[in-house]
Amino acid sequence: MLDTERFDPAAHVAAAAPAVGLALDATRQARVAAALALVVRIAGPALAVDLPVEAEPAPVFRP
């Protein structure tokens, strides 16, 4: 589970970018980290919901 309070997007980008073959300059690395911080902030409430093990996604979305 992702701890949104302790997650460091800048450190994550600095470690993950070279691992996947991305060469980011400092400016681009900061922009990617800012975008990742926003994603984590938005996704945090959804990730906090406990789902039962037997839960499965619906095969078709019908609003």
The model's pLDDT over 9-60, given as tens digits with 9 standing for 90+, comes to 999 999 999 999 999 999 999 999 999 999 999 988 888 888 898 988 878 8
The set of residues, in sequence order, having a beta carbon less than 8 Å from that of 41 and lying 6+ positions away, is 4
Task: Name the residue range of residue 50's domain.
Answer: 1-63
pLDDT of residue 30: 97
Q: Return the DSSP state at 25.
A: -
Q: Are 36 and 13 in contact (CB under 8 A)?
A: yes
The total domain count for the chain is 1
Q: Evaluate if residue 1 carries a pLDDT over 80.
A: no
Cα distances (Å, whole numbers) of residue 27 to 10, 14, 49: 11, 12, 34
Contact 28, 48 (CB under 8 A): no
